[in-house]
Amino acid sequence: MQRSLPFNIPLVYIKPREKIAEVYVECSSGCLSKVFEVLSKYRLKLGTILELTDGKNGITLFITDFQDKRKVEEEILKLDCVSSARVFSDILMEKGLGVDIFHYPIMIADSHALIFNARYLIETYIDLRERLGDAANVIFYHLGFQYGYHATKELSERLGIKPGMLYSVRELGEIFCRIARVYGWGFFEIDYVEETRGGIKVFNSWTARVYRELKGLAKGPVCHMVRGIIAGVATAITGKQCKASEILCTAKGDPFCYFEVFEE
């Protein structure tokens, strides 16, 4: 498993009693250094740089240590290579609540994405299991399956990737293992791929980690949504109906989660 760092999506910056402003600038790619030179006199917080459709770049930053937001905006607009600039701050931002106002929706691979707190989702699962018993496992498995299947199918069709066309089944699996990490599901590692079966290790599964934080050691595997996602991805990649079972789970003390994938 490769070393990695947590990534805070740069859309929320909360620092009580700090005066915050959000800056959005559109400029040519050769102008980036000039924009940052102007902004360097302030304290730069979370930010991102986007490539826009017209060949320009869009810069979004939170800043502090400024006096007048209009002055910041005027300084940026003095640059000939800047086509537009907006600096936003209101009473909430002046009290340290920095929330992006310039972007919607959040997109991942050109698809509208939603953000859910992992803890709340597992709390929902635990509550459902207490009410419905094993039916909660089935519900979360099918939620995961539909998500994994449709997300994989959509991305595969958009990129024109199919088994045997540039990529093998294993290589497609590796692609979606990397995507799963970016999406926050865990570190997926393909153990083996055979004609009708496969094995996948998952390190730092969000489901197992949060479950253990909330409830302690589990008596059995709990990563039903992840299990469903794996089955959905496998079904979309191979074109054959697949299922997945969780053999090992860190929620019950195993060193990693392990899933067997097989054709129905």
pLDDT at 95 over 90: yes
18 and 143 share one domain: no
pLDDT of the residue at 1: 63
pLDDT of the residue at 110: 80
The total of structural domains in the chain comes to 2
81 and 196 share one domain: no
202 and 80 share one domain: no
Q: Is residue 6 part of a domain?
A: no
229 and 165 share one domain: yes
126 and 210 share one domain: yes
The predicted-structure confidence for 221-261, as pLDDT tens digits, reads as follows 999 999 999 999 999 988 899 999 999 999 999 999 999 99
- In degrees, to the nearest 5, what angle opens at C-alpha 168 toward C-alphas 164 and 172? 115
pLDDT at 186 over 80: yes
165 and 251 share one domain: yes
Query: In the predicted model, what is the mean pLDDT of the chain?
Result: 92
249 and 192 share one domain: yes
Of the residues 44, 70, 104, the one at which a domain ends: 104
Of the residues 104, 136, 155, the one at which a domain ends: 104
pLDDT of the residue at 195: 85
Q: Give the CATH number for residue 38.
A: 3.30.70.260
50 and 128 share one domain: no
Q: What is the mean pLDDT of residues 99-114?
A: 89
135 and 252 share one domain: yes
pLDDT at 161 over 80: no
DSSP 13-80: EE-TT---EEEEEEE-GGGHHHHHHHHTTSEEEEEEEEE-TTS-EEEEEEEES-S-HHHHHHHHHTST
Residue 105 in 3-state DSSP?
A: coil
Of the residues 82, 104, 126, the one at which a domain ends: 104
Domain that holds residue 183: 118-263
Any idea which of 39-53, 140-154, 158-172 has the lowest mean pLDDT?
Answer: 158-172
pLDDT of the residue at 159: 72
pLDDT of the residue at 2: 66
Q: Is residue 33 part of a domain?
A: yes
Query: pTM of the entire structure?
Result: 0.83
The predicted-structure confidence for 18-64, as pLDDT tens digits, reads as follows 999 999 999 998 999 999 999 999 999 989 999 997 889 999 999 99
pLDDT of the residue at 145: 98
* Percentage with pLDDT > 70 across the chain: 97
Please measure the distance between the N-terminal and C-terminal CA atoms of the chain and give it in whole angstroms.
30
97 and 219 share one domain: no
DSSP 232-264: HHHHHHHSS-EEEEEEE-GGGT-SSEEEEEEE-
pLDDT at 164 over 60: no
Q: Is residue 2 part of a domain?
A: no
Q: Is residue 7 part of a domain?
A: no
pLDDT of the residue at 245: 98
pLDDT of the residue at 155: 80
Query: In the structure, what pLDDT confidence band is assigned to residue 197 with cuts at 50, 70 and 90?
Result: very high
Residue 142 in 3-state DSSP?
A: helix
Q: Is residue 228 part of a domain?
A: yes
Q: Is residue 145 part of a domain?
A: yes
211 and 87 share one domain: no
